[in-house]
Structure 1
Amino acid sequence: MKKTIAAAALLLSSLLLGACNHNQETDTASVDDPALSIMTTFYPMYEFTKEVVGDAAEVSLLIPAGTEPHDFEPSAKDMAKMMEADAFVYNSPELETWVSSLTDSIDTKQTTIIEAAQAIDLVESEEGHAHEADHDHDEEADHVHELDPHVWTDPVLAIQEVETIRDQLSAAYPEQKDQFAENAAAYIKKLSALDDAYRAAFKDASQRTFVTQHAAFGYLARQYDLVEASISGISPDQEPTPSRLAELKEYVETNQVRVIYFEENASSKVAETLASETGVELAVLNPLESLTQEQIDNGETYISVMEDNLSALQKSIK
């Protein structure tokens, strides 16, 4: 026991001494290495931020590649990383529901907290309310999102998120304002071209309905005057009721839906069942809630995945 106490005391002394040395090293390093440290939650926030800051900051991803962000909960180690960062970028409290409980713990004088969707009015989730009613306010329904957080799947709203990240980082670090503005302008040009491609593709479409695995493309549908019907609600792990599946089967047949879209990073069992029962094609539509490490290593980006999504949607929207 005495050895254990002594060892603990020695460890504590080492940590305290290390903290002092770390502060000295940080002060020294700040002269030689001006790069900021920015923590982002999930992939779109990572790419949007990285495109804005360029080489002016080191951008890291909190939620591991291939991990579903709806159910993610940060560990104590994750919390420590957030507190050490110069800035922390997330989408909205409606997706990263745990953020509201952490902001009181983070020193905002040291870490700039940026809500990328702050300037966007989130819409109510009809699917979420329906699911909640079906479960009669049971435990699972308590986790249903009342608002739809998937704004990044709309290129126009993605531009707004990039602008918010740019503006808030510029306010916090004005000495790099011009670099942030230049980088953001170049990336927004690409997002605007993506928006143009979507508008051109669906401008004269007569069939404007598509069926997805979960309700992640509502904002995209509104932007381009399309209609999304989803198997499950805002969260991909919500299981549809038998009555919902029966409704969708009738919906697919009535509206002559050609394709049912599933997600590579989530279970596609229900989508496969519905496609089999209705005799329609299956295709991938990526909600960009996460990219796998393999996708990242292969150079896939928000832009490239959204271009793939456009090609996939054109199988339905004619």
Structure 2
Amino acid sequence: MIKRFLTFFLAILLAASLAGCTDSEIADGAVVCSAFPEYDFARQICGDSADVVMLLPCGSEAHDFEPTAKDIKAVAAASLFIYNGGESEVWVERVLLSAGNVRSISLIDCCTSPLYVDGEDGREQDEHIWTSPKNATLMAEKIYNVLCEVFPGKKDVFESNYNALSAKLTALDNACTEMGYRMKGKTVIIGDRNPFGYLARDYGVEMMAAFHGCGHDSEPSAKELVSLIETAKENDADIVFYVDFSGGKIARTVASELENAKTEQLFSCHNVTAEDFMTKSYYDLMMQNISRIIGAEHAAD
């Protein structure tokens, strides 16, 4: 009986917590977010004081997302629409035109020193700004300020929650700084696309990936793959990383060419699984990334 009750109770909690990344009805006046980073910051700042939902379905790839009529309706009825902007969210402009006069903010300008990568239409800004806690701190600050404008009566609650979030992001920034010190002279091998350009630059972590940037190429060129394997051998790499939702095929190929190497996942944080949506935050996932990258340093020693 107790076991059945616990199973039923956990199922209710799961359904409730996944309201932001499923086909559930979205209440009018919600804070609607395009993807996980902005969703996570908004939900932590709002707490129980506002409905916060995410349009991107859990477990899906942001580059492949196309909004439905229900999504457009939700944005039109939102108190605030928060989106990152960039190549993966070209659909936002269409949605805002259809939604009409809705308050919205883009976060991509929170990066004061943008990186540029090769895209389908030439050079474009790397949109993965949240992978650096320095940018994430500015994103959270912008979200907090606009939420206070939209819901002025809830400013005291927002301020308390924002201060707690800010403290976590500061701790994350410090942890990344320490990671940079510990990884000096090491190269992180990523048998995948590399969304961590801002993390690598801001904290001095050398990374080499199978792809340049995060283009839609399905496979790296033979030359790129050989170069990655050679670099991995030169660095005595015991871990080859892959990025969530990619499957890790290329990482396994690279690892197979190394002695006793294994593969391990890093979290890009643009989206999460349904399970992680319920239990983890941006902070949690980034701390896991740090732990795994530092673990690669120990594995190589």
Q: Which TM-score applies when normalising by structure 1?
A: 0.77
TM-aligned CA deviation for residue 277 of structure 1: 1.5
TM-aligned CA deviation for residue 86 of structure 1: 1.0
Once residues 291 and 204 of structure 1 are traced to their aligned partners in structure 2, the CA distance between those partners, rounded to angstroms, is 28
Deviations 1:160-186 (A, max 9, x none): 100011112222333333332221111
Contact 1:40 1:61 in 2 (8 A): yes
Question: Is 1:246 aligned to 2:226, yes or no?
Answer: yes
Once residues 86 and 152 of structure 2 are traced to their aligned partners in structure 1, the CA distance between those partners, rounded to angstroms, is 27
Unmatched 5+ stretches in structure 2: 1-27
TM-aligned CA deviation for residue 106 of structure 1: 2.7
Deviations 1:167-207 (A, max 9, x none): 12222333333332221111110111122122223324443
> Which residue is equivalent to 2:130?
152
Contact 1:210 1:228 in 2 (8 A): yes
Deviations 1:93-138 (A, max 9, x none): 3331211233223333xx2101123232463434x26xxxxxxxxx
TM-aligned CA deviation for residue 293 of structure 1: 0.7
Write the letter of the residue equivalent to 1:293. Answer: A
> Which residue is equivalent to 1:176?
154
Moved more, 265-274 or 174-183: 174-183
Contact 1:70 1:235 in 2 (8 A): no
TM-aligned CA deviation for residue 294 of structure 1: 1.9
Contact 1:51 1:183 in 2 (8 A): yes
Mapping 1:138-287, distance limit 5 Å = 141-142=120-121, 146-212=124-190, 213-235=192-214, 237-238=216-217, 239-279=219-259, 280-287=261-268
Contact 2:196 2:268 in 1 (8 A): yes
Residues 184 and 117 of structure 1, relative CA distance in 2, 3 Å threshold: farther
Equivalent pairs, count:
269
Residues 201 and 235 of structure 1, relative CA distance in 2, 3 Å threshold: closer
Once residues 156 and 88 of structure 2 are traced to their aligned partners in structure 1, the CA distance between those partners, rounded to angstroms, is 31
> Which residue is equivalent to 1:306?
286
Deviations 1:130-155 (A, max 9, x none): xxxxxxxxxxx44x772211111111
Mapping 1:22-41, distance limit 5 Å = 36-41=29-34
Residues 125 and 258 of structure 1, relative CA distance in 2, 3 Å threshold: farther
Q: Secondary structure at the match of 1:228?
A: strand
Contact 1:208 1:225 in 2 (8 A): no
TM-aligned CA deviation for residue 76 of structure 1: 1.8
Q: Secondary structure at the match of 1:265?
A: coil
Deviations 1:246-271 (A, max 9, x none): 22122222333332101342221111
Question: Is 1:291 aligned to 2:289, yes or no?
Answer: no
Residues 172 and 115 of structure 1, relative CA distance in 2, 3 Å threshold: same
Contact 2:129 2:198 in 1 (8 A): yes
> Which residue is equivalent to 2:94?
101
Query: 33, 48, 52: which one pairs with 1:55?
Result: 48
Deviations 1:255-314 (A, max 9, x none): 3333210134222111110111233331111111211112223x1221211111111000
Residues 75 and 99 of structure 1, relative CA distance in 2, 3 Å threshold: same
Contact 1:45 1:90 in 2 (8 A): yes
After TM superposition, which residue ranges in structure 1, 4 or more long, deviate above 6 angstroms? none
Once residues 187 and 280 of structure 2 are traced to their aligned partners in structure 1, the CA distance between those partners, rounded to angstroms, is 27
Q: CA RMSD in A?
A: 2.3
Once residues 78 and 165 of structure 2 are traced to their aligned partners in structure 1, the CA distance between those partners, rounded to angstroms, is 24
Unmatched 5+ stretches in structure 1: 1-34, 130-140
Query: 86, 94, 116: which one pairs with 1:125?
Result: 116
Deviations 1:58-113 (A, max 9, x none): 011101100111221112221111111111111123331211233223333xx210
Residues 291 and 145 of structure 1, relative CA distance in 2, 3 Å threshold: farther
Contact 2:144 2:158 in 1 (8 A): yes
> Which residue is equivalent to 1:9?
none
Bigger-Rg structure (1/2): 1
Residues 165 and 42 of structure 1, relative CA distance in 2, 3 Å threshold: same
Residues 82 and 36 of structure 1, relative CA distance in 2, 3 Å threshold: closer
Once residues 225 and 206 of structure 1 are traced to their aligned partners in structure 2, the CA distance between those partners, rounded to angstroms, is 8
